Structure 1
Amino acid sequence: MSLDSLSSSALLIAFFVYLVAFIIFVLAILGKKWSRDLSAETAARHVKKWGWAGYVIAAIGFVCQVVYFISRWIEAGHIPTSNLFEFLTFFGMMVILAFLVVYLIYRTPVFGIFAMPVGFIIIAYASVFPSEIQPLVPSLKSYWLNIHVTTAALGEAFFAVGFAAGLMYLIRMVNFQGTSKTDRRERRGVEFSLFTIVALVSFIVLIFAFNSAGYSAKFQIETTVKGEVTVEESNYVLPPIVSPSTSTLVQMDTFLGMKEPLFEAPAWMKGASAGRKLNTVIWSAIVGFLAYGLLRLIARKPLGAALSPLVQGVDPEDLDEISYRGIAIGYPIFTLGGLIFAMIWAQEAWGRFWGWDPKEVWALITWLFYAVLLHFRLSRGWVGKRSAWLAVIGFLVVMFTLIGVNLIIAGLHSYAGV
């Protein structure tokens, strides 16, 4: 078996093993609720037994992903974190690692229902991007690639754990039956967080569907710089609701009777990929709202209210502690990887420590946000809901830094884009 097939197979196996582990964690909690005739002691043994089964299977999946990581590293000749596919698969692996570490400390099976999906959804999202091994651009040919990216991803993985526990806390403590202004605002916040997750999963499914169908559309874009004309090509894998600015349609598969884009991207959105990025954002919103609406119809209640019974037996103080500990572990690691090591590498690669590149700015915003979170918690006593809200919002900032900046804003880190 070649290294390429070994790495691909190991990653695929890891993904499905993570799914099995997630299902077992679900059964550990739902089995207790379905068997209402069990004594409290018997139910506790059931949860503990199936919780450990889920943990062991998740650890096996992690080992499979380590096999993928090492085999791809050997094949590529460099650490496989140089593009979005590689980075997101590594980031997902670090999320699973952070979950395995935290679970050993708190041993809360219901935590697996919320933390495991964060890891395998990120891995699934990675498959949206090109997976071919690519040669490193000159600025990435440095040992700092190994140090900066791995430590930054590990720190962000513990932020993901803090996010999962924080979201669980909110679902546990928000009053979904209340009628006060505060109750309504909190419900909207929880629903927005769940909508974001649903939209991401739906977008992944959408990409897989159109890739399987072989959909494609191509545009040519002519740009003139100092009298020199250059022609770039922009390839779409989703039906082009919006075309690149000042482009020519070369080829487009029909979709629901649509034979040409509905409108053109604004003129200020420059670059061959600008229109495609805007098209991606529009499709994400469309499928997100459709999927969320369908789930609301099935549940006949807000998704937060539907999930609330799963966490009613969990001590909210434990969830608050898990969220805080995850962030407290991740913050110094991210400080090293996301800021200090990044600035040293930037000095070597570009001759300056700081250049206000969009990814640098958003990394700083992320660092400052979590600094504020820890400051308010330790000095102002912001625990419970306040801390949980900050943990959830903070991870949304992390995901925008990792993905949104690449898809929406051009910069020196755009080599990691699609």
Structure 2
Amino acid sequence: MTDSSLAELSNTLFSVSVALYSAALVAYCAELAFGRRRRRAEELVGAETGQGGGVALADRPAAGTAAETPGANRWGVVALGVTVLGALTHAGVLLTRGLATDRLPWGNMYEFATAVVLVAVVAFVVFAVRSPNLRHIGVFMMAPVILSLVAIGLGLYTEAAPVVAALRSYWLAIHVTAAILGFGIFMVSGIASVLYLVRSRPGAEAGTGLVSRLPSPAALDRLAHRTAVFGFPIWTFAVIAGAIWAEAAWGRFWGWDPKETWSFVAWVVYAAYLHARTTAGWRGRPAAWVNVVGLAVMIFNLTFVNLVSTGLHSYAGVD
């Protein structure tokens, strides 16, 4: 295939990925919609008979948990399968674009942001396979993923082309790859903390609405913490690698360029989050708020700092 054909294929796969993620979102919605029918029926019968409808107390779902019907479980499996298929086509977007340009496919904001979202999807899939109960946050993962990809396609798209001379370095593979991995993992962590804040509100545990169908607050907090623990050293390495590249390219390790400054701010916020979770008085909701602020800083660093501020990183906005 010619380079132009590969670039066109990349664009087509981008649209296919959005379509598949949208289909997965519908399936996750179906899982939430049908996943509690059995439990609600048991509760209603129990209320009428005063004996729990003949269901032993030990056999009933714990408060705040969802007993899945076979149909709901099938919807969840379908949703996860479509998500995996979407991730494969999503990876194809970057692969074909890289082949079309004969370089690593994260040399501009469009490619960088696309790769970040892919990492977030893969991280979610890994945790959902290991802990099937986490499939219930699929709606809240896929919705931001779809919105992000639509925004990326509409606002950040650029034609496939070679990178500028300043980015033709092996540090592109080291520094930017680490930044992509760290950002994508932090995206999952931040979403988990947002859901934890919603799920841990007073009265949410005993509710019967959509919030009560989420995993327990402990499970959401555990997901947020584990992903942050995994992403923090990767982001630390990205900041250090960026400083080394800066010394090789510009003759100084650190110059408080806006991109450097906000990358360091993000590092400080995530360090504060990890410390907060081990500090009395900061565990739980206060620590989760710090994690949400961390995700907000990461998004600000990608969007506002790259698109509005000026600095040595303005030519590409990817490192």
Deviations 1:175-225 (A, max 9, x none): 489xxxxxxxxxxxxxxxxxxxxxxxxxxxxxxxxxxxxxxxxxxxxxxxx
Match of 1:124 among 150, 158, 167: 150
Match of 2:188 in 1: 161
Match of 2:255 in 1: 355
Q: Contact conserved, 2:16 with 2:89, CA < 8 A, in 1?
A: yes
* 1:15 counterpart = 2:18: yes
Deviations 1:118-173 (A, max 9, x none): 32322222111232123322210011112211111111111111111111111112
Q: CA deviation at 1:308?
A: 8.9
* 1:144 counterpart = 2:44: no
Q: CA deviation at 1:18?
A: 0.9
Q: Whole-Å Cα distance in 1 between the matches of residues 158 and 248 of structure 2?
A: 28
Match of 1:52 in 2: 77
* 1:369 counterpart = 2:269: yes
Q: Contact conserved, 2:270 with 2:294, CA < 8 A, in 1?
A: yes
Match of 2:222 among 321, 337, 341: 321
Residue 209 of structure 2 aligns to a residue whose secondary structure is helix
Q: Whole-Å Cα distance in 1 between the matches of residues 137 and 242 of structure 2?
A: 32
Residue 10 of structure 2 aligns to a residue whose secondary structure is helix
Q: CA deviation at 1:34?
A: 6.0
Q: Percent sequence identity over matched residues?
A: 34
From the superposition, tell whether residues 83 and 38 of structure 1 become closer, same or farther in structure 2 (CA, over 3 Å).
farther
TM-score, length of structure 2 as denominator length: 0.83
Residue 415 of structure 1 aligns to a residue whose secondary structure is coil
* 1:83 counterpart = 2:117: no
Q: CA deviation at 1:49?
A: 2.6
Match of 2:136 in 1: 110
Match of 1:202 in 2: none
Q: Whole-Å Cα distance in 1 between the matches of residues 216 and 69 of structure 2?
A: 14
Q: Contact conserved, 1:3 with 1:71, CA < 8 A, in 2?
A: yes
What amino acid does structure 1 have at the position aligned with 2:246?
A: A
Q: Contact conserved, 1:69 with 1:80, CA < 8 A, in 2?
A: yes
What amino acid does structure 2 have at the position aligned with 1:90?
A: A
Matched residue count: 288
Q: Whole-Å Cα distance in 2 between the matches of residues 381 and 17 of structure 1?
A: 43
* 1:407 counterpart = 2:298: no
- Pairwise mapping of residues 205-216 of structure 1 onto structure 2 (< 5 A)? none
Moved beyond 4 Å, runs of 4+: 33-36, 38-42
Q: Whole-Å Cα distance in 1 between the matches of residues 203 and 152 of structure 2?
A: 34
CA RMSD of aligned residues (A): 2.4
Match of 1:334 in 2: 235
Q: Contact conserved, 1:89 with 1:123, CA < 8 A, in 2?
A: yes
* 1:391 counterpart = 2:291: yes
From the superposition, tell whether residues 308 and 163 of structure 1 become closer, same or farther in structure 2 (CA, over 3 Å).
farther
Deviations 1:48-87 (A, max 9, x none): 3322221111011111111111111011111121211111
What amino acid does structure 1 have at the position aligned with 2:92?
A: V
Segments of 5+ residues of structure 1 without an aligned counterpart are: 178-306
Q: Whole-Å Cα distance in 2 between the matches of residues 390 and 358 of structure 1?
A: 22
Judging by fraction of residues, say which structure has more strand: 1
From the superposition, tell whether residues 321 and 61 of structure 1 become closer, same or farther in structure 2 (CA, over 3 Å).
same
Segments of 5+ residues of structure 2 without an aligned counterpart are: 44-59, 62-66
Q: Contact conserved, 1:99 with 1:116, CA < 8 A, in 2?
A: no
Q: Whole-Å Cα distance in 2 between the matches of residues 390 and 116 of structure 1?
A: 23
TM-score, length of structure 1 as denominator length: 0.64
Judging by fraction of residues, say which structure has more helix: 2
- Pairwise mapping of residues 229-248 of structure 1 onto structure 2 (< 5 A)? none
Deviations 1:354-394 (A, max 9, x none): 11110000000000110011112124463321122112111
Q: Whole-Å Cα distance in 1 between the matches of residues 41 and 126 of structure 2?
A: 34
Q: Contact conserved, 1:331 with 1:370, CA < 8 A, in 2?
A: yes
Residue 295 of structure 2 aligns to a residue whose secondary structure is helix
* 1:133 counterpart = 2:160: yes
Q: Whole-Å Cα distance in 2 between the matches of residues 121 and 59 of structure 1?
A: 18
From the superposition, tell whether residues 340 and 153 of structure 1 become closer, same or farther in structure 2 (CA, over 3 Å).
same
